[in-house]
């Protein structure tokens, strides 16, 4: 059993085999603080599993790196926006 399965349970990650980043140096997706993320995001731009990757990162609270073409800061904004949307939707349904 791998570390991700131990931490988060078994999840379907078959999408990873189709990812543009397969075979690319992982360091590209985990740049030093303040370094450019442009190259990593370019790899993600045309990826057919970009959404799967992003949703995986959001569901698992990935704190570092570029996932689904987004940095942690961008993913945090997306999580907040989704939470606000859920709150608004729930309030209007009541």
- Each domain of the chain, given as residue ranges in start order, spans 3-93
pLDDT one-digit tens code per residue, 43-58 = 999 999 999 999 999 9
DSSP sequence for 29-52: GSPPTTS--HHHHHHHHT-TTHHH
Q: What is the total residue count of the chain?
A: 94
Please calculate the CA angle 29-34-36 and round it to the nearest 5 degrees. 50
Q: How many CA atoms lie within 13 A of 39 on its CB side?
A: 10
Lowest mean pLDDT among 11-15, 32-36, 69-73, 83-87: 11-15
Say if residue 6's pLDDT is above 70.
Answer: no
pLDDT at residue 75 in the model: 97
As beta bridge partners, residue 67 has 70
């Amino acid at each position: 059993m791998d570390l991700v399965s131990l931490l988060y349970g078994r999840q379907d990650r078959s999408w990873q085999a189709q990812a543009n980043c397969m075979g690319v140096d992982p360091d590209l997706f985990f740049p030093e603080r303040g370094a450019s993320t442009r190259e990593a995001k370019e790899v993600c731009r045309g990826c057919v599993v970009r959404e799967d990757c992003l949703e995986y990162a959001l569901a698992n609270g990935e704190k570092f790196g570029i996932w689904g073409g987004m940095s942690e800061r961008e993913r945090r904004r997306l999580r907040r926006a989704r939470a606000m949307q859920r709150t608004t939707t729930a309030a209007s349904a009541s």
